[in-house]
Chains A and B, each alone.
Chain A
Amino acid sequence: MKLFKHLATSASALAVMATGAAAEISGGVVKIGLLTDMSATYSDVAGPGTITAAEMAIEEFGGQVAGAPIELVSADHQNKADIAANKAREWGDTEGVDAFAELVTTSVAMAVFEVAKQQNKIALVSGAASSPLTNDACIPTGLHWTYNTRALAVGTGSAVVKEGGDSWYFLTADYAFGEALQGDVSKVVEAEGGQVLGASKHPFPASDFSSFMLQAQASGAKVIGLANAGGDTINAIKAAKEFGIIEAGQKIAGLLVFLSDVNALGLETAQGLQMTVSFYWDMDDETRAWSQRFFEKTGKMPTGIQAGTYSSVRHYLKAIEATGSDDTETVLAKMREMPVEDMFAHGGVLRTDGRMVHDMYLAEVKSPAESSGPWDYLKIVRTIPGEEAFGPLSESTCPTK
């Protein structure tokens, strides 16, 4: 009888402890709201794959962290900032969402930043590319995980110049993003001792690149830089193929190209293209194992954005596990304190401006002869150290850094 009594008291003591731990978790559940583009331009590079990636991170914790269940809610923002802002606000106000994840396209990320700032919630940005997210537009709780335009410019720009590509000609999408990208890369190229011979601005979006490609060819530049994205990049590369630009000895440098773009273009067309990536599935045993599991679920190999979403959600949950709390300040402090250590990043550092600094990679698209089969598309030419890719913290113009 005494034994039973003892058991009962220790059981109730345990129960109290358990509820005590769970009480640190707001609403008794850790809820992550993932906003992505499910149906339009970015559904391939981000989209459903990011939901799978986030689910894989949650599975690793067995669906539970610090004694509370983890719940993932997701929505399609259709690349519209107002839909994203509305959804994020609603999640925060009525559903007790603790953090926002993914957020592809910059306008969406910035809109959600505004909500996250007001509600004091963590925003884990993976898909959006613009550097201002950790500069002028930064917020204390906004974390930019996968890559940014500066890293792409520095990565591809300096690496290509070092490889001997010291004269550049740009094909630039005629809007703010294209011009910013061209400006960033030009600075890097000139700093490395290369020269920019000229640029052609093309309308956005464009389908016929033949005249621009001919101008680029006539310029005699060793490298043709594509300061555009998505469909424009794909069309430009196709035009380059038609005019035999690569066979004639000029190199194409894509500044915003994803693995799914290479998959869409095919190796025959894309071969020789140089690009900066945050992640490639075939780098080591860890990435291969994770990507294989991802492939089994989705039928595609992961892009950097998808792998980055996994990494950001995992690191967020690890911080909750370590602190036993989902309070924004506590978790954020822990996330900054712990190095980001997973298959996506090794020794990644989360800076106070919100930038997650990790190594980037310069890759070249293989020729069909080099490729051993489907998804064997890239060879890593060089590892770009995080500090070089993202720049020092002192360079950041974030007011709250």
Chain B
Amino acid sequence: MKKYSGYLIALGLLMLAPTMIYPVFLMKLLCFALFASAFNLILGYGGLLSFGHAAFFGGASYITGHALKVWGLPTELGILFGAAVAGLMGLAIGMLAIRRHGIYFAMITLAMAQMAYFLFVSSPFTGGENGLQGVPRGTALGMIDLQNDMSMYYFVLAIFVIGFLIIARTVHSPFGQVLSAIRDNEDRARSLGYDIERYKLLAFVISATLAGLAGGTKTVVFQLASLTDVHWHMSGEVVLMTLLGGLGTIAGPAVGAGIIITLQNYLASGPLAAWVPVVLGVIFVICVLAFRRGVVGELRELIKRQF
């Protein structure tokens, strides 16, 4: 029980948070925390640096938006449909990309994501650079009105918790252990008889699906899907969140996402408004130079040393 007490406290705080902090901001934070955690599954535990995760995140946000706005699907089905399409995209891109390692893997994912970007720019259903606007929030399970920010918040929190549990379960399962083994020494894992391509592909698809889940949820929160979500900047931002929070730690990416989103949000209206990209860049440099394990990684190390 003690092992999970930290998470239970965090969950308790998240349940209470919207009474003190603006709920729409918290929902955005949760969406990005899920996105970064999904990304961490393949980077932190699989050792695969994907530079194309925006394609899954943004792709699902467009698909969900279209499904809700044009087809009139119920909210939860729309989000699941978006996540499923992201999973399929992950399968297609993953099958190509996992044949290569390191920088070549990153470049293939980037190239495929750029293709997805151009597809979304030129498809009429996305509204091009104007974005897909006015997506209805609808109701959860046909009875809870999501137009209310509070009920929307608990809906998003539920999705986040489910997504987070899937990731935690995956990491601690035998599958996750094999994934870590592949990350640490691919040849040894292969010599032990594991079909490493299948493991990598499955991890990639799970990660893409959950990234899509986050993207679809974000569309419902903001009632819009825009090119920002499929742009390669987004792929870079999620790497930054993951590294800042702590690579290969369960809670790290969520913390990293929290830091980045909070900075983006609060710096935007202060005297540093014109300097947001610079501030984030400086933080990244400091993180890489001074605490390479990320915030959560360093904390964990500190606790280990103390006791």
> A174 contacts the other chain (Cβ, under 8 Å)?
yes
Which residues 95-142 of B sit at the A interface, judged by CB distance below 8 A?
121-122, 124, 127-131, 133-134
A residues in contact with B228, CB < 8 Å:
79-82
Which residues 32-83 of A sit at the B interface, judged by CB distance below 8 A?
38-39, 43, 47-48, 73-83
Alpha-carbon distance between A87 and B124 when the two chains are bound, in angstroms = 28
B225 to chain A, nearest CB (A): 9
Alpha-carbon distance between A156 and B35 when the two chains are bound, in angstroms = 46
A78, A85, A93: the one contacting B276 at CB < 8 Å is A78
- Residue-wise, chain B 217-236 has the 8 Å CB interface mask toward A (1 for contact) of 01000111011110000000
> B291 contacts the other chain (Cβ, under 8 Å)?
no
- Residue-wise, chain A 84-96 has the 8 Å CB interface mask toward B (1 for contact) of 0111011001100
B127, B128, B222, B275: the one contacting A86 at CB < 8 Å is B222
Alpha-carbon distance between A242 and B199 when the two chains are bound, in angstroms = 55
B132 to chain A, nearest CB (A): 10
**A110 touching B133 by the CB < 8 A rule?**
yes
**A176 touching B268 by the CB < 8 A rule?**
no
**A107 touching B269 by the CB < 8 A rule?**
no
Alpha-carbon distance between A94 and B128 when the two chains are bound, in angstroms = 32
> A235 contacts the other chain (Cβ, under 8 Å)?
no
B180 to chain A, nearest CB (A): 34
**A94 touching B22 by the CB < 8 A rule?**
yes
**B268 touching A85 by the CB < 8 A rule?**
no
A residues in contact with B134, CB < 8 Å:
110, 114
B residues in contact with A85, CB < 8 Å:
222-224
Alpha-carbon distance between A175 and B226 when the two chains are bound, in angstroms = 15
- Interface size on A, as a range, is 35 or more
Q: Closest chain B residue to A81 by CB distance?
A: B226
B25, B226, B276: the one contacting A76 at CB < 8 Å is B276
B277 to chain A, nearest CB (A): 6
**A75 touching B122 by the CB < 8 A rule?**
no
A73 to chain B, nearest CB (A): 7
**A87 touching B128 by the CB < 8 A rule?**
no
B227 to chain A, nearest CB (A): 7
A39, A73, A75, A82: the one contacting B226 at CB < 8 Å is A82
**B273 touching A177 by the CB < 8 A rule?**
no
- Residue-wise, chain B 254-266 has the 8 Å CB interface mask toward A (1 for contact) of 0000000000110
> B17 contacts the other chain (Cβ, under 8 Å)?
no
- Residue-wise, chain B 125-168 has the 8 Å CB interface mask toward A (1 for contact) of 00111110110000000000000010000000000000000000
**A38 touching B273 by the CB < 8 A rule?**
yes
Alpha-carbon distance between A204 and B229 when the two chains are bound, in angstroms = 18
B residues in contact with A78, CB < 8 Å:
264, 268, 276
How many residues on chain B are close to A (CB under 8 Å)?
A: 33
A106, A111, A175: the one contacting B121 at CB < 8 Å is A175
Q: Which of A86, A90, A113 counts the most chain B CB atoms within 10 A?
A: A86
**A176 touching B22 by the CB < 8 A rule?**
no
B residues in contact with A86, CB < 8 Å:
24-25, 28, 222, 265
> A132 contacts the other chain (Cβ, under 8 Å)?
yes
**A82 touching B218 by the CB < 8 A rule?**
yes
B24, B222, B277: the one contacting A39 at CB < 8 Å is B277
> A137 contacts the other chain (Cβ, under 8 Å)?
yes
Q: Which of B121, B228, B268 counts the most chain A CB atoms within 10 A?
A: B268
**A111 touching B264 by the CB < 8 A rule?**
no
B residues in contact with A38, CB < 8 Å:
273-274, 276
Alpha-carbon distance between A87 and B222 when the two chains are bound, in angstroms = 11
Given A39-B274, A94-B22, A175-B121, verify A110-B268 contact (CB < 8 Å). Answer: no
**A111 touching B269 by the CB < 8 A rule?**
no
**A76 touching B269 by the CB < 8 A rule?**
yes
Alpha-carbon distance between A85 and B24 when the two chains are bound, in angstroms = 10
B residues in contact with A107, CB < 8 Å:
129-131, 133, 224, 226-227
With A86-B25, A93-B24, A110-B133 already in contact, 5 other A-B pairs whose C-beta atoms are closer than 8 Å: A81-B226, A85-B223, A86-B28, A175-B122, A175-B128
8 CB contacts below 8 A, A to B, read A73-B269, A78-B268, A83-B264, A86-B25, A89-B24, A90-B25, A110-B131, A137-B130
Interface residues of B (CB under 8 A from A): 22, 24-25, 28, 121-122, 124, 127-131, 133-134, 149, 218, 222-224, 226-229, 264-265, 267-269, 273-277
